[in-house]
Structure formats: C-alpha cells, structure tokens
Amino acid sequence: MLLHAAEKDIDEKTVSAILKAAGVKADDSRVKALVASLAGVDIADAMAQAVAAPAAAAPAAGGSSDAPAPAEEEEEEEEEAGFDGLGSLFG
C-alpha cells in the first residue's frame, strides 16, 4: 500500500528496500512470490473492497450472540420432523 500510495512500481527492488528500511530481513524468494502475486492486481480496487467488506459485516457482528441459536434449533426440529415422516413409511 505504501508503494501504491507513493506511485512507485511494485517490484522486488522496491519491496526489498521498504522491508530493509523497516528492519525486516526478508527471504528473496518470498519477496519474489509477493511481487508475482500482486502482478495484475488493481491495488486501489482491492483496497476499496477491503474497506467495504468489514462495513458490510459490521451489522451482523453487532447483533446479540443469542440470535443464531433459535435459528439453529428450528433447523434441527425441521430435520427431525423430516426423519419422523420417513420413519412412518416403514411402519
């Protein structure tokens, strides 16, 4: 993100320089793999999606922890009712 914000190329040399400046000794093969995985990725779009995803999930996380339990109980009751129905076929 730092390189993207600075409008610098995301290549092995610049990523290694950033890591070195941060005091991180990175494995060259990992840096190469990171750069390869970012090839063709629209960083601005990826950042926008990353910011939007937690906002969309926030209302679900804000609910009480008791809410999912009744839904699970209802599903179990429906499944049991289905098995009872099949059992009645065999007498």
* CATH code of the domain in which 33 resides: 1.10.10.1410
Residue 32 domain boundaries: 2-90
Instruction: Decide: helix, strand or coil at residue 64.
Output: coil
Tokens 């076929």: give the residue: 89
CA proximity to 3, closest of 14, 12, 13: 14
Whole-model pTM: value is: 0.51
Could you report the per-residue pLDDT of 56-73, keeping only the tens digit for each?
A: 666 655 555 555 555 555
Please give the structure tokens belonging to residue 52.
């939007």
Residue type, 90: F
Q: Say how far apart CA 8 and CA 89 lie, in whole Å.
A: 71
Could you report the per-residue pLDDT of 8-30, keeping only the tens digit for each?
A: 889 999 999 999 999 999 899 99
Question: How many independent structural domains does the chain possess?
Answer: 1
Please give the structure tokens belonging to residue 43.
């960083």
Tell me the pLDDT band of 76, cut-offs 50, 70 and 90.
Answer: low
Tell me the pLDDT band of 7, cut-offs 50, 70 and 90.
Answer: confident
Q: Say how far apart CA 39 and CA 57 lie, in whole Å.
A: 28
Residue type, 57: A
Instruction: Decide: helix, strand or coil at residue 85.
Output: helix
